Amino acid sequence: MNRLKVKFKRLYNKTKKNVHTIIKERVISNYIKNNMLFFAYLVLNVLNATILRFFCMHSLENYLSLRAIIADAMIVSFVGAFGYLLKPKNRSTYFIGFTIFFSLICMINSIYYTFYTSFASLSMIGLIQYVGQVGDAVVENVVQLKDVVYIFAPIIMIVLARKLNKRKYFSKVEIKSIRKKKMLTTISIAGVLAIFFFATMKPLDVSRLVKQWNKEYIVMRFGIYIYQGNDIISSLQPKINSMFGRDKAQQEFTEYFEEKKPEKKNKYTNLFKGKNVIMIHGESMMTNAMSLKFNGKEVTPNLNKMADSGMFFPNFYSQVSVGTSSDTELTSTTSLMPTKSGTAFVSYYNRSYIAIPSLLDEKGYYTFAMHANNGSFWNRKVMHESLGYKKLYDKASYEVNKDNTIGLGLSDKEFFKQSIPILKDINEKKKNWYGLMIMLSNHTPFSDVEHYGEFPVDIKERVKNKDGKVEEVSHPYMEGTKLGNYFKSLHYADQALGEFLKELEDAGLLENTVVILYGDHDARLPRKDYNLLYNYDKKTDSLLDEDDPNYKEYDQYQYELGRKVPFIIWTKDMKGTKLNKKVNYTMGMYDVLPTIGNMFGFENKYALGHDIFNTKNNNLVCFPNGNWVNNKVYYNSQKSETYPLTTKAISQEELIENTEYTNKLLDVSNNIIVYDLLKDVK
């Protein structure tokens, strides 16, 4: 024991002496002085990564996460170390080049997070071909001032390099051995950082890094640069795994569905058997907008009429990932979740799917889709065949010109109007049919205000002026804002919907038809845009102060829960019957197939969702990022936090069980698509 104390004392004294030497001889300051460009490169790129977390994840814990800072510094140091192999005169090019590279990573992720509330993936490179068609949306609704702050790092590096060059900083001659020593020293620094970093890792961290479902958690714990490197591996993994990992995936798939209980028959079984179906894909329709009025006028009067006279599901959630509308089509028709990397419509269009169109085709239905956009957009023309559609009536089937175009293409009013003759022809020739109709006008960026018609989103009131006369005064409120323009756009889309239902009635197409409408996803507008909606002060034409008793806090959880979309099942004669009701169960897009399948007499036993009338209040909705919601709580897997929805408490056991269920479901769904596991069972 005494010997151990002596050794420890010697080690302590030696360390103390070394520290004094470092301080006395200014070793650190001299090292920094002799490596100014490297340290500028290190500090700026770590700072950029920290700024990214600050803008994306608004909490001190996230953007000042020591682990993430260490991880980012480790990667930047390691990459920078190899710059020392170059001669001093070429070294600045290396450090500036990688600063530009790291800055682009931060900038791209900053822009991407604004729109998707997630981080960018290499697997989405295949979607670049579609950016041109939604370019205005990206510029107007996504790119913000915060997204360009990252360019200052390369600018500072360039200015610093020029100043150092004027001072003959790079004119020194360094032999290979010195350059190699500097490289090894810098790698050693990265190694020390790595030791600190990996010493704090937990098994859960490793699991989440490997699965890559929870991207926000990975960036929060591992930093943006490790996330991006890991994403490259994860993006390539499906291609590799599809050749080597199928057996394990097949086993997990078999076990999962052996344990899954089959759907039971209920009072809605075969309710609509033999009926025709019009499925309306409501672009960017949101449930919370249905309750809004401006100057006494509803934003969505026709949608509200459908909800009031049909079967309305107000707690219905979209489950999209980066594929947005295409993800909704996938999930609603197949009851599968979006893929972990890429999108099914673009990356996995040649897989076997069991979908609503293919199931109804087996029952003698003519199945088709109608969308007045290019058939190649989201690869629909090809993917729709895999889903079982017999025909896609795309842009070529419609008369489109500059006078009837809104936003990305043919206006919804004109789309529905021109679709009526096609529907009449189908109805005359086919005994039963199923048609998906994809709306388009209410697509971001909601900037064609002059085409939406008159719908002021201001506040009008009658007041007495100084002379005692009553006059109308208008307060701007939501006028000129992105969210205000969205309400105008949605009001237009709602008008188109109302006209379409009337045209269907006049054409006799509602006699044996069920109309099913879902919103594909929310408006994809930032949370801050809703602040004005709830906290407008008409006296000052600005926001209420946070200390004001009327101020309404609209936090991240209210924003997430506010992204619900409408789901309505409607027939012309449903009003006043037992079917005319509001169904408040928590429901997701993957529950559409099993729920309406029971009503129309078809089944997909490999559906991941459930018939909502069987699960009722026990239903769980999983999201692609690992979050989930039920009738009790909303669970944020990134922060491991729950947001209560009722006074009913949730046990720790239920919390763990639901989280494990979500992770398992996401893995199984991904494997089904990547490994084409439905090919054999079909």
pLDDT at 240 (0 to 100): 62
Amino acid sitting at position 471: E
Phi-psi group of 650: left, alpha or beta (phi > 0 → left; psi -120 to 50 → alpha; rest → beta): beta
Alpha-carbon distance 222 to 215, whole Å? 10
In a domain, 2, yes or no: no
Alpha-carbon distance 223 to 118, whole Å? 14
Q: Tens of pLDDT along 463-514?
A: 887 777 888 889 999 999 999 999 999 999 999 999 999 999 999 999 999 9
Alpha-carbon distance 518 to 529, whole Å? 24
Residues in the chain, overall count:
682
pLDDT at 22 (0 to 100): 40
Which residue did the predictor score with more confidence, 201 or 315? 315
Q: Are residues 431 and 555 in the same domain?
A: yes
Q: Tens of pLDDT along 549-579?
A: 999 989 989 999 999 999 999 999 999 999 9
CA dihedral 601, 605, 610, 611 (to 10 degrees): 10
Domain that holds residue 362: 252-681
Q: Are residues 643 and 534 in the same domain?
A: yes
Model confidence band, residue 638 (pLDDT cutoffs 50, 70, 90): confident
**H/E run at residue 543:** strand 542-543
Domain boundary among 242, 267, 283: 242
- Among 167-176, 254-263, 400-409, the minimum mean pLDDT is found in 167-176
In a domain, 426, yes or no: yes
pLDDT at 19 (0 to 100): 42
Alpha-carbon distance 330 to 336, whole Å? 7
Pick from 579, 586, 559: which is nearest to 317 by CA?
Answer: 586
Asked if the model's pLDDT at residue 135 lies above 50, the reply is no
Asked if the model's pLDDT at residue 77 lies above 60, the reply is yes
Alpha-carbon distance 286 to 585, whole Å? 17
The percentage of residues in the chain with a pLDDT greater than 70, rounded to a whole number, is 87
Q: Are residues 641 and 506 in the same domain?
A: yes
In a domain, 359, yes or no: yes
Which residue did the predictor score with more confidence, 124 or 420? 420
Mean pLDDT, the chain, whole residue set: 88
pLDDT at 157 (0 to 100): 94
Q: Are residues 565 and 462 in the same domain?
A: yes
pLDDT at 204 (0 to 100): 66
In a domain, 408, yes or no: yes
- Among 49-63, 67-81, 628-642, the minimum mean pLDDT is found in 49-63
Q: Are residues 301 and 231 in the same domain?
A: no
Q: What pTM was estimated for this model as a whole?
A: 0.78
Q: Are residues 235 and 259 in the same domain?
A: no
Domain count within the chain: 2
Alpha-carbon distance 662 to 669, whole Å? 11
- Among 31-45, 123-137, 344-358, 444-458, the minimum mean pLDDT is found in 123-137
pLDDT at 172 (0 to 100): 67
In a domain, 265, yes or no: yes
Tell me, letter by letter, the H, E, C secondary structure of 185-230. Answer: HHHHHHHHHHHHHHHCCCHHHHHHHHHCCCHHHHHHHHHHHHHHHH
Q: Are residues 608 and 522 in the same domain?
A: yes
Q: Which residues contact 394 (CB under 8 A, 6 or more apart)?
A: 371, 372, 373, 374, 375, 380, 381
Using alpha carbons, list the distances in angstroms from residue 134 to 128, 224, 333, 593, 602: 10, 27, 25, 29, 37
pLDDT at 500 (0 to 100): 98
Q: Tens of pLDDT along 211-264?
A: 665 677 788 888 899 888 887 776 676 566 566 678 889 999 999 999 998 999
Domain boundary among 212, 242, 272: 242
Alpha-carbon distance 304 to 310, whole Å? 10
Q: Are residues 232 and 257 in the same domain?
A: no
In a domain, 247, yes or no: no
In a domain, 617, yes or no: yes
Model confidence band, residue 21 (pLDDT cutoffs 50, 70, 90): very low
* CATH number, domain with residue 444: 3.40.720.10
Alpha-carbon distance 357 to 435, whole Å? 9
pLDDT at 27 (0 to 100): 46
Pick from 352, 314, 326: which is nearest to 680 by CA?
Answer: 352
Alpha-carbon distance 618 to 192, whole Å? 49
Asked if the model's pLDDT at residue 526 lies above 90, the reply is no
Domain boundary among 223, 242, 261: 242
Q: Are residues 270 and 186 in the same domain?
A: no
Q: Tens of pLDDT along 283-323?
A: 999 999 999 999 999 999 999 999 999 999 999 999 999 88
- Among 167-176, 186-195, 296-305, the minimum mean pLDDT is found in 167-176
Max CA distance (Å), the chain: 100
In a domain, 5, yes or no: no
Q: Are residues 206 and 264 in the same domain?
A: no
Which position has the token pair 């699960």?
A: 615
Alpha-carbon distance 300 to 17, whole Å? 76
Q: Are residues 161 and 292 in the same domain?
A: no
Q: Are residues 112 and 186 in the same domain?
A: yes
